[in-house]
Structure 1
């Protein structure tokens, strides 16, 4: 998306009609440049009304992200813990963008309106239409090495659940290790990426994607049952959601550094989507069938197989319900 297109979207986000002349004056360009930029927005799934004598307005209005609104939704303590927040109109991936940045000596975050190469676990494509969902990443430093990070993705999932509960979204579950579910349908996901030394300082980038108001056309490309917050709790503000998500995420990261996964075990048990369910575990060396029995202290999945408990780590296994293929 070009800077001109984003400037025009910021103007149109109020839901009113704006003439080509007004927009050209506001952006400091010609009316022809405005018309061309507006036509290009269709590639992002953004449609407009064009009415003679009135100008242009968005067919489906939406709330653009705003750094001041996001930071304003955080507490003073979590605001002070965040070194910087970057808002990008479009990016390949918020995780990848943060991974490319140099060490700034503090915790940094990035949100985007659109991702061209959003990624889920195992490199799967993450559906990332413009202005519809939440694409948020946070980069933190851990000084005690990668060995202390076992179970961090589960703690991050608790931060997501806390945020959704605070916003009155009930019935949320977590599918080990990183998927957010609501009533058997996927609502979001988590992706952790780590760089650094195994026994020394390392940086962790935590990426969170949540479906807020997924366009139906984009949703048809998703290969599993899904839902969005607009269907569950209409009217939620993306800025409020982003701000509170950062707030809870920063709190959880600080708690994890001090106490590890043990602090979150009770909360995990309450939202464990796999517990007690018949599971199919797909591994490089074959398939295992069993019953979900929670997590071990290190965050690995416990599965009861023929009356005995087995541990499985997320790097080696994909988990399915026995009666589902997704």
Structure 2
């Protein structure tokens, strides 16, 4: 209902919407409308109330609630169900629980704060409150288990395109899934899976984006390797708008991934956005460091590299250092 009220206020920018019109649209009393207006004001919305005129939206806070994200969202699957929490230990943890309870495909779990955000290889993700996008997507692709890990590369393409749009500055993908601006990471992806035998029950794609974090606010150990959309663009961004951009970029790529049986049809899009191929790299693997030149990725997203001795190596999982 609050979403309906906000939509009506935004449809009349600078003007007033009568309480009676809201009552008719929501099917409730004037008292109920007043209570919802009060709740919105408590949440940070500046709403002016004038007798015999109605209500006028003066300013909106930078929130990532379901109502804010749905406003203008142009998707038919991803984000049609949104679960918002002010604070969570990890959006992936709640998303896994919701998926196990039957949450529909496309459900988005999002929080204003993560107290124990996770990155790849168990690293903690720096996620201060009210400044970033910390969300997880629940997916149920009908694909063989072997294709499950490729969803991370699909998400990387979507995020690279979305964040480039949001900032007006070209982002790049460092294999397999880090999104960088000018060599500094602003976005990470963590995919977790529940499957049995050769059947995927669900995937949870966790996404962390540094949005409105001033560069000076990053811890000293992250200053040289991390950045935010605000630092790149030079001004704050509306986080809900960035979320909508990400979901709208992701949905068509996800459909291609499912309909074409895996990552192969998106390989060229990944390569067009990457900053890894053609450069000298060090692959930090469980077997030790491997140095050489990044040559290509195959249709499964495996990194192909040429070692210094001329031998070719397939890298399935590793942290990568790129020397540009």
RMSD over aligned Cα atoms? 2.5
Match of 2:320 in 1: 319
Match of 1:225 in 2: 225
Between Structure 1 and Structure 2, how many residues are aligned? 269
Match of 1:184 in 2: 183
1:272 aligns with 2:274: yes
| Distance change (3 Å), C-alpha of 1:290 and 1:107 | same
1:12-53: CA deviation from partner (whole Å, max 9, x where unpaired): 73589xxxxxxxxxxxxxxxxxxxxxxxxxxxxxxxxxxxxx
1:13 aligns with 2:44: yes
Q: What is the CA–CA distance in structure 2 between the aligned matches of 1:296 and 1:208, rounded to whole Å?
A: 24
Match of 1:23 in 2: none
1:245-269: CA deviation from partner (whole Å, max 9, x where unpaired): 1222222222110122122222212
Match of 1:98 in 2: 95
Q: What is the CA–CA distance in structure 2 between the aligned matches of 1:240 and 1:79, rounded to whole Å?
A: 17
Of 124-133 and 276-285, deviating more is: 276-285
Match of 1:310 in 2: 313
Pairwise CA distance, 1:187: 1.0
Match of 1:57 in 2: none
Match of 1:247 in 2: 248
Pairwise CA distance, 1:97: 0.7
1:85 to 76, 82, 86: 82
Q: Structure 1 stretches of 5 or more lacking a match?
A: 1-6, 17-60
4+ runs deviating over 4 angstroms: 7-10, 80-83
Q: Structure 2 stretches of 5 or more lacking a match?
A: 1-37, 48-59
Q: What is the CA–CA distance in structure 2 between the aligned matches of 1:142 and 1:126, rounded to whole Å?
A: 27
Match of 1:263 in 2: 265
Q: Secondary structure at the match of 1:107?
A: coil
Q: What is the CA–CA distance in structure 2 between the aligned matches of 1:176 and 1:80, rounded to whole Å?
A: 27
TM-score, structure 1 normalization: 0.75
| Distance change (3 Å), C-alpha of 1:8 and 1:186 | farther
Q: Secondary structure at the match of 1:106?
A: coil
Match of 2:291 in 1: 289
Match of 2:148 in 1: 149
1:184-219: CA deviation from partner (whole Å, max 9, x where unpaired): 111111110000224123200011111111253444
| Distance change (3 Å), C-alpha of 1:14 and 1:206 | same
Q: Secondary structure at the match of 2:244?
A: helix
1:142-173: CA deviation from partner (whole Å, max 9, x where unpaired): 23332122422111101102212332432201
Q: Secondary structure at the match of 2:205?
A: strand
Q: Secondary structure at the match of 1:130?
A: coil
Of 216-225 and 182-191, deviating more is: 216-225
Q: What is the CA–CA distance in structure 2 between the aligned matches of 1:172 and 1:322, rounded to whole Å?
A: 17
Q: Secondary structure at the match of 1:90?
A: strand
1:83-136: CA deviation from partner (whole Å, max 9, x where unpaired): 510111000111111001212343311111000100000010001100001111
Q: What is the CA–CA distance in structure 1 between the aligned matches of 2:266 and 2:242, rounded to whole Å?
A: 22
Of 180-189 and 298-307, deviating more is: 298-307
Pairwise CA distance, 1:81: 5.2
Match of 2:27 in 1: none
